[in-house]
């Protein structure tokens, strides 16, 4: 089925139970960003961003198009290394490890910090292979171990009941919402600590979007989640913290960061107030 015509079941009870994670009321930084600047071909896209992302919490990155949200996300797991002409300065610590230190390997980092993209991006392979391939690439080859991980992550994203008896069909035959949950399962298979999500619901119809949003909430506590969203109502519903970015000239800047309730109900900066009230952006 075409991804934009998803008829993903709205039944949230298909999502398997997750172990409760730690509450996020005692914020410990999982990611520490200091003076992060990012340039594409010498043109500044992010200007000196300093921010802590708290462990086990959901942090929403909000702001108008072009303010650098995706660039910020991509810097955290060094996907920016793969963009020709992209230059990153400043410091990012992930669980106290400097991601730019020569001893930090990008592949190891990306195992710790998974990424889910806007459009579901399953490989044009079977459901099973979509999940086993990254495991093989990270040296996991035991069939029994792979089968156990596949079952666990499919249960975690609520897909097990829907696909366990047809794991060898093409992942492209799934609905858009199912494909996105498969992509989340693929990220979870490598047991990351952090999940970066770039507008994970925006390519889905409202029902599938609701299922994925519910899933993201269920992952809270077990994972540190950073989500880019243009959907302010969604940010408000699911996030514990929000970071508001703005673009001045071409440079994206972090204007304000704080508890979601503060950002949406009593922001400190007038630009934030204008944006969340729909007057700007």
Q: Using the rule CB under 6 A, is 179 a contact of ligand ATP? A: no
Binding region for ligand ATP (CB under 6 A) out of 66-74, 155-163, 168-176, 204-212: 66-74
Q: Using CB under 6 A, which of 33, 45, 49, 204 touches ligand ATP?
A: 45
Q: Taking the complex as a whole, how short is the minimal distance between the CB of residue 123 and ligand ATP, in angstroms?
A: 23
Candidates 60-68, 102-110, 124-132, 156-164: pick the segment binding ligand ATP (CB under 6 A). Answer: 60-68
Site for ligand ATP in 212-271 (CB under 6 A): 250, 252
Could you say whether residue 62 binds ligand ATP (CB under 6 A)?
no
* 143-159 core/surface letters (b: 16 or more CB in 10 A; e: else): eeebeebbeebbbbbbb
Q: According to the binding rule CB under 6 A, does residue 66 interact with ligand ATP?
A: yes
Instruction: Determine if 78 is a binding residue for ligand ATP (CB under 6 A).
Output: no
Count of residues that interact with ligand ATP, criterion CB under 6 A = 13
Residue pair 281/89 in contact (Cβ under 8 Å)? The answer is no
Which residues lie across from 197 on neighbouring strands?
Answer: 116, 227
Candidate ranges 5-13, 69-77, 123-131, 144-152; the one touching ligand ATP (CB under 6 A): 69-77
Instruction: Assess 22 for contact with ligand ATP (CB under 6 A).
Output: no
Q: Is 70 in the site for ligand ATP (CB under 6 A)?
A: yes
Residue pair 186/200 in contact (Cβ under 8 Å)? The answer is no
Can you tell me which residue has the tokens 């499919």? 154
223 CB-side CA count, 13 A: 28
- At its nearest, how many Å lie between ligand ATP and the CB of residue 229? 9
65 binds ligand ATP (CB under 6 A): yes
> Is 69 or 128 the residue whose CB approaches ligand ATP more closely?
69
Nearer to ligand ATP, 127 or 227 (CB): 227
Residues that bind ligand ATP (CB under 6 A): 40, 45, 63, 65-71, 83, 250, 252
């Amino acid at each position: 089925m075409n991804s934009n015509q998803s008829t993903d079941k709205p039944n949230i009870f298909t999502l398997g139970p997750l172990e409760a994670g730690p509450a996020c009321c005692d914020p410990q930084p999982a990611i520490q960003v200091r003076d992060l600047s990012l340039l594409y071909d010498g043109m500044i896209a992010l200007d000196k961003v300093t921010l802590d992302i708290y462990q086990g919490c959901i942090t929403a990155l909000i702001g108008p198009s072009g303010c650098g949200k995706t660039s910020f996300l991509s810097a955290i797991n060094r996907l920016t290394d793969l963009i020709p002409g992209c230059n990153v300065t400043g410091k990012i610590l992930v669980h106290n490890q400097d991601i730019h230190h020569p001893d930090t390997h990008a592949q190891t980092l990306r195992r710790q910090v998974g990424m889910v993209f806007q459009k579901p991006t399953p490989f044009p392979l079977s459901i099973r292979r979509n999940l086993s391939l990254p495991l093989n690439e990270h040296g996991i080859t035991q069939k029994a171990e792979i089968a156990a991980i596949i079952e666990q992550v499919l249960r975690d994203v609520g897909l097990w009941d829907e696909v366990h008896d047809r794991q060898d069909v093409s992942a492209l035959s799934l609905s858009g919402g199912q494909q996105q949950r498969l992509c989340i399962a693929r990220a979870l298979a490598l047991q990351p600590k952090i999940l970066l999500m770039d507008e994970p619901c925006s390519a889905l119809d409202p029902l599938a979007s609701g299922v994925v949003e519910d899933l993201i909430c269920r992952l809270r506590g077990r994972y540190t989640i950073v989500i880019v969203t243009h959907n302010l109502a969604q940010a408000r519903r699911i996030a514990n913290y929000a970071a508001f970015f703005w673009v001045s000239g071409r440079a994206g800047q972090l204007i304000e960061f704080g508890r979601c309730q503060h950002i949406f109900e009593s922001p400190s900066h007038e630009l934030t107030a204008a944006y969340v009230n729909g007057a700007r952006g």
